[in-house]
Chain A
Amino acid sequence: MIIGAKICMLIGLFVFMIATIGFLRFPDFYTRMHATAKGDTLGTLLFVVGLALYTLHYGFHWFSIVQCVKLISIAVFWFLASPTATHALLKSAFESDLVPWTKDGKVVLAWPPKKRK
């Protein structure tokens, strides 16, 4: 149980580190958001599942099981909420005419996007 918890937490820490490097080093808003959104969701899921495994190591009392269910509910809520918040922020940035970065400076899409009536 404890070994599984430690392995889950170490993988989550690795994912968080990669997300932070991407957040600091990528050139554009959209690419930074790509890095942080995925890293946040997967890292939080792994950490919370690791802690839920760790709370079960005393044995299967009802107390440990209630804590485990609460931790899994945090994981499920964050797994639904984090992509929703990312999508809302991305749509907000897209509608306020933030131009995506390209290597040669030419835009790929027709830009600016069509205004809604």
Chain B
Amino acid sequence: MEGFSLAVALVLCVIILLSLYRGVFGPTVFDRIIGAGFIGTKTIILLLFMGLIFGRIEMFIDLALAYSILNFIGTLIVSKYFIRKGAR
């Protein structure tokens, strides 16, 4: 399971790097917001895999729960802020 979880974590890192392109060079503001949310979701999964690799998943579960709540609130607040300012 060690090698399997390391390989899955590496593929998740490659996915984060690929989606960082759209997050940086996105044509509109909303593409960047989606990119941030997408990378945040991958970060939750990567935190859980770090717990699995270190053998202390009971600590990293709480971190992942807090990070998922933070990601959700951040996306909501930013989309509320850009409600008439985007697309230009």
Contacts and interface: CB of A to CB of B under 8 A. Distances in A.
Question: Taking chain B's interface residues, is the majority helix, strand, or loop, or is none over half, making it mixed?
Answer: helix
Contact of B34 (A17, A44, A54, A89): A89
A93 B76 contact: no
B19 to A, nearest CB: 5
Given A40-B38, A51-B48, A13 B11 contact: yes
Given A29-B31, A92-B79, A71 B86 contact: no
Given A23-B19, A40-B37, A51-B48, 20 more contacts: A13-B12, A17-B11, A17-B15, A23-B22, A23-B35, A32-B22, A44-B45, A48-B48, A66-B58, A73-B65, A74-B65, A77-B68, A81-B68, A81-B72, A84-B72, A89-B33, A92-B86, A95-B84, A96-B84, A96-B86
Interface of A: 2, 6, 9, 13, 16-17, 19-20, 23-24, 29, 32-33, 36, 40, 43-44, 47-48, 51, 54-55, 63, 66-67, 70-71, 73-74, 77-78, 81-82, 84-85, 88-89, 91-93, 95-98
